[in-house]
């Protein structure tokens, strides 16, 4: 994972568990739990269906021929063969594949200007 992929508020995995980035320092960052770490100690959190259901406001909507669909406002996540696609409900569907929690957070923020609420 490259440091340029991250921003304050992202969740990452470090040796002592999953944490949220509070702010950056020269060679790493501080977390909201008061600890800190180097960029080399940060790892992405793989997105799973269980994580999506338990930690976000995306709600199960229905099955399609492509897989399960979760929806939040105008945005949706389709799970197809253990792959995750972020899309927009409109006449022209745009699907973006992603694998990690921080990618979902960044994409949601870029499109809405709001943080994705994580429980």
Half-sphere exposure of 110 (CA within 13 A, CB side): 12
The DSSP bridge partners found for residue 104 are none
**How much is the pLDDT for 31?**
96
Q: Where are the domains of the chain?
A: 3-41, 49-112
In order along its 119 residues, the chain shows pLDDT tens digits of 889 999 999 999 999 999 999 999 999 999 999 999 999 999 999 999 889 888 998 876 665 666 677 778 778 888 888 888 888 766 556 678 889 999 999 988 988 898 988 88
Closest CA to 74 of 94, 53, 46: 94
pTM of the model: 0.84
**How much is the pLDDT for 88?**
78
**How much is the pLDDT for 103?**
94
What DSSP designation does 14 have?
E
Residue 117 contacts residue 57 (beta carbons within 8 Å): yes
Tokens 């943080």, located at residue: 115
């Amino acid at each position: 994972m490259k440091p340029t992929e991250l921003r304050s508020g992202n969740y990452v995995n470090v040796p002592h568990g999953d944490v949220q980035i509070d702010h950056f320092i020269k060679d790493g960052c501080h977390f909201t739990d008061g600890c800190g770490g180097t960029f080399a100690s940060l790892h992405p959190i793989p997105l799973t269906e269980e994580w999506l259901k338990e930690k976000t406001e995306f709600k199960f909507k229905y099955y399609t021929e492509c897989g399960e669909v979760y929806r939040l406002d105008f945005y949706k996540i389709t799970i197809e063969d253990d792959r995750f696609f972020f899309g927009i409900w409109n006449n022209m569907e745009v699907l973006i594949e992603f694998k990690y929690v921080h990618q979902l957070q960044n994409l949601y923020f870029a499109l809405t200007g709001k943080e994705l609420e994580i429980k």
